[in-house]
Amino acid sequence: MSPNLYIVVLVFSGTMLVNVLTSAALWYIHGNRIFGYITLSWVITSINFFLQSQFVGYDYKMLLAFSFYLLASWVYYEITSALLVKPDRRSWVYTIPVTLVILGLVTLRLTHSFRFASIFSAIAIAMPLLCAALKARNAKESRGDTKGFKILALLLVLLAIHYLDYPFLRQSETGAVFGFTFAFLLTFAFSIFFPSFLLWQLAAEYSGRLQGEVTKQTKELVDLDNRNKALISILIHDLATPVTTAMMSLNKIEDGDAPVMQRLSKSLRYIMTTIEKVRELQAVTSGKKNLDLKVADPAIAAHNAVQYYAEQLAAQNLTVRFMDERKNPQSAVMIDSQLLQAQIIGNLISNAIKFSPRGEEIVVRFSDDFRYVYIEVIDFGIGIPANIAPKIFSFSGATTRIGLHNEKGTGFGLPLVKAYVDMMNGRIEFKTSYKDPSFSRTVGVCMRVRFPLVVQQPLLSERREREL
């Protein structure tokens, strides 16, 4: 090996080592697979360089050592594809080069001409590089600035040319020095270009994510503003009619008109209910609602909720049946018992009363498994219409309906229920108008709430409450 060639080889080896370490460090820091591809390409190049330095005879070993760079060529193709939004990979980029390498080996055996045989390997290595260059040149949808792709395309074309000149330069000392020098310059260019280009791409990607997050936050603020406008609309319009009715009725109180007093009482109750719902909604959406989470038996809250609605149940001749199908009747969950009683189960019982025919029953069923405790409020009423079902838990959707007994609602009941269930790490879902094997008739609505199971031991405090 001549002194000039020795110096070029030594500098080339040092550059390879620096490139491997730098790309591996960037891969570790950013965790981006493209840096992993680049690390792999430098490792393959280093191995290829080592193999060619070991095999000096122009035989199968030398040809296979040169053909080994096909792996790096494929890696460059994958890097270019990964940088594009629509990679559109081609299978022939892998199959045809392999075929060409095999043809080169066969040609070497038949002709014993290393130069002629290595042409097949040179073309095989150049094909993925030229294909990647074409993809980079025509890149319209990328993860960053398309100007960088033009530079990438140029470097890939130069690299392909470098391997295409291999059959003509490798067998002479002067040609080898020129080839290694050209390879060193390309390696130096790639070692500068790849880190800067990919970091620019990552910056563009992170900027896009940030823009998406800003857009999301903006949308949430717009939704919150729309909710506030909806609240104002409710206060202006929904409360106007009952307040007017109450004021007109007050003028007739002196006459002792009982129906008038009933209308007044009903209107005032509706006003208070709407005001309370609006307050609850504001507390939930603003994050000011604090929970008092404790381990408790949800069945106790359910019984208390039913007792609260005893008057309304009796007025419609409705009965409530409890079905406790838990494997462990003492299964407990982490809940705010007051909220579960008044806002969750209370709202579900209220809805069941509104949409159940007179004389029917409402079923409250408990069940559990190894992860959750389930509470179901089941009625046999008219069910939920298909046009309302998808937005039944939405604050913004119009879901208010008149009950079977002319009851009015605010439309906030079920959205508030879902908000509270979510705050207690639970989940709510429903089914409507279906057959349940436990009952002989069609179920109107089944509202099913689940909470994570936290204990399965009898609670002393709850046993005392039950004994009382």
pLDDT of 157 higher than 80: yes
**Per-residue pLDDT reduced to its tens digit, 49-102:** 777 666 667 788 888 888 888 888 888 888 888 777 666 677 888 899 999 989
Give CA–CA dist 385/255, Å, rounded.
44
Burial of 389 (C-beta count, 10 Å sphere; 0-12/13-18/19+): middle
- Residue 359 contacts residue 400 (beta carbons within 8 Å): no
**Per-residue pLDDT reduced to its tens digit, 105-140:** 899 888 888 888 889 989 998 999 898 888 888 876
Structure tokens at 334: 């982490």
pLDDT band for 42, please (50, 70, 90 cuts): confident
Dmax of the chain from CA atoms?
A: 123
> How many angstroms from the chain centroid is the CA of residue 466?
44
**pLDDT score, position 456:** 56
**Per-residue pLDDT reduced to its tens digit, 183-208:** 767 777 777 777 777 777 777 777 77
Average pLDDT of 251-256? Answer: 57
What phi, psi does 275 have (nearest 5°)? -60, -45
pLDDT of 29 higher than 50: yes
Determine if the pTM surpasses 0.85. Answer: no
Structure tokens at 9: 């080889």
Q: At what angle do helices 60-67 and 33-54 cross, to 10 degrees?
A: 160
Structure tokens at 302: 């359910």
